[in-house]
Amino acid sequence: MTNQPVQIVIQIVPSNGNGTEVQVLTPTGGMPMTTAAPAASGYTFHELMPLYFAWGDREGGKKKRPWSEDHAKHVKFRARWWVSHLPVARFGELTLTMVEDLLAKVPGRKDSKGRAKPAKDKTRRDYGSTLLGFRQWAVDHDYYEMPAKDPLRALTLPDGEPEVPYRALTLDEYRRLLAVATPFRKEHYQALALTGLRCGELRNLRVGWLDVDGRKLVIPLHDTKGKRKAVIPLPPSLAERMAERAKGKGADDFIYTFDRSSLSHEFQRDLRNADIPKRTAEGDAALHGMRDTASTLLQHELGYALTDAQKFLRHASPEITAKRYTTVSDPRRARMAEELDRHLHGEANERDQDSGVRGQGTARTAPVAQQPQGDAAAHQGADDPFHPKYLIGQEVGAEIKRPQGDSNPRWRLEKPLS
């Protein structure tokens, strides 16, 4: 059934408590439309909240689409939390201290005993953004007139960066994860890894964006985080699976339908079942970290450059990719040091091992065969830092003495070389 636009009816009636409340009346089957709101600043949160939710469910998203199911659930929950905890009833009565105090009291997730843990910075930022977004909606729709001196102008929200960085899964961990996942979750994990998409972007993919013949996704600029048109290449196997999911759906329907929070919890369960540690020295394994996994494996396992990984993840600069989305594990750093040692000192290490002097801190030596002879030695002179007279070792065959108080880092020879 197609909803026909109708005029919304707003009725303000006395509430059971103090003040008034808003009743939104629409005929059965009708889709509310926005009406011109009176220029006023005296509406209470309880009066405005149902109007705000109705607007969001109708056209609050990008390109005037409805809020997504996940976004609507979180915004409504946080907005109700603010309304129930604020000691005032109107936007005009808010103060900076009041909002900052409540932000510090935002509840976090509950532990196994049902006790609320301290909220993370990202959670506090989300709560603050919900309040400011609610207020901006009231200003845009003439329900609230912003004063010349905004009382919340100095409000600073946390940056929202995770306290513990995400880490990439190793190739072995990724394969073990897929081995324990259900076919439904396995398909979603693979889609995240093979496209480099964020969870929200994968959830928001529309059938009309899928080009099966070209094996790619074409995402409009309004639907990406960076507000830039994105073209995502697809491997044949993933393109076929997406095409199967798209059968029978309209162009504006979602390809995938899943709850991000539920999938994230199931991801953690799969980690435990696969005996994969959630936290290591490099950071936490998380569903969003599949982007880290894709970037790291592209560079470390397949040999692609940092700029290639940057383009794959659609970052504005390679610095973001290198800083946040590339994991260099402790075992990899150890291998790097060993390989660099073999590359730089392979022959010298073998000689040291043969002579039994490796690891004793001896200075660099020059074999006799490599020392300049005759005129060549005289020509090199004192300015050459690698001249034999500056080298220490049995091959030089000279007595070595460092004068007392000499600040020169190079030891000097009491008897010069002939």
CB 222 within 8 A of CB 86: no
| In the predicted structure, residue 218 carries a pLDDT above the cut 80 | yes
pLDDT confidence bin for 180, thresholds 50/70/90: very high
- Which residue, 27, 33, 24, is CA-closest to 59? 33
Q: What's the number of CA atoms in the CB half-sphere (13 Å) around residue 346?
A: 4
| In the predicted structure, residue 354 carries a pLDDT above the cut 70 | no
Per-residue model confidence as pLDDT tens digits over 305-329: 988 888 888 888 888 888 878 887 7
Predicted pLDDT of residue 326: 83
Q: Which residues pair with 284 in a beta bridge?
A: 166, 279
The secondary structure of residue 206, as a DSSP letter, is B
Instruction: Take residue 55 and report the two structure tokens written for it.
Output: 């607007």
pLDDT confidence bin for 159, thresholds 50/70/90: confident
End-to-end CA distance of the chain: 103
pLDDT confidence bin for 259, thresholds 50/70/90: confident
| pLDDT top residue among 237 and 345 | 237
- The full length of the chain comes to 418
Domains and CATH numbers, the chain: 9-108+118-140 (no CATH), 171-205+256-330 (1.10.10), 364-418 (no CATH)
Distance CA 103, CA 123 (A): 10
pLDDT confidence bin for 208, thresholds 50/70/90: very high
Distance CA 254, CA 238 (A): 16
Full strand arrangement of the beta sheet holding 230-233: 210-211, 216-219, 230-233
pLDDT over 70, % of the chain: 71
| In the predicted structure, residue 17 carries a pLDDT above the cut 70 | no
Per-residue model confidence as pLDDT tens digits over 385-414: 444 433 334 344 444 444 455 444 443 444
| pLDDT top residue among 305 and 380 | 305
Distance CA 315, CA 308 (A): 10
Instruction: Take residue 283 and report the two structure tokens written for it.
Output: 């950071």
3-state SS class at 109 = strand
| pLDDT top residue among 176 and 349 | 176
Give the residue ranges of DSSP H helices in 86-156.
Answer: 96-103, 121-140
CB 134 within 8 A of CB 253: no
- Which residue, 306, 297, 359, is CA-closest to 332? 297
Longest dimension (CA), the chain: 109
Stretch among 244-253, 254-263, 299-308, 397-406 having the lowest mean pLDDT: 397-406
Phi, psi of 170 (to 5 degrees): -75, 165
Predicted pLDDT of residue 312: 86
Burial 383-408 (b: 16+ CB within 10 A, else e): eeeebbbbbbbeebebeeeeeeeeee
- Which residue, 185, 196, 201, 190, is CA-closest to 233? 196
Mean pLDDT, the chain, integer: 77
Tell the residue number behind the tokens 């081995």, with chain if given. Answer: 179
| pLDDT top residue among 163 and 120 | 120
Mean pLDDT of 3-29: 50
Distance CA 33, CA 54 (A): 9
| pLDDT top residue among 251 and 37 | 251
User: Contacts for 171-177 with beta carbons within 8 Å, 24 or more apart?
Assistant: 171/297, 171/301, 173/274, 173/276, 173/285, 174/293, 174/297, 176/274, 176/275, 176/276, 177/270, 177/271, 177/274, 177/276
Predicted pLDDT of residue 132: 95
Tell the residue number behind the tokens 């109705």, with chain if given. Answer: 54
Q: Which residues pair with 23 in a beta bridge?
A: 11
Predicted pLDDT of residue 370: 46
Burial 346-381 (b: 16+ CB within 10 A, else e): eeeeeebeeeeeeeeeeeebbeeeebbeeeebeeee
Predicted pLDDT of residue 42: 73
Mean pLDDT of 374-389: 44
The secondary structure of residue 289, as a DSSP letter, is G
Phi, psi of 42 (to 5 degrees): -100, 5
Is the whole-model pTM more than 0.85? no
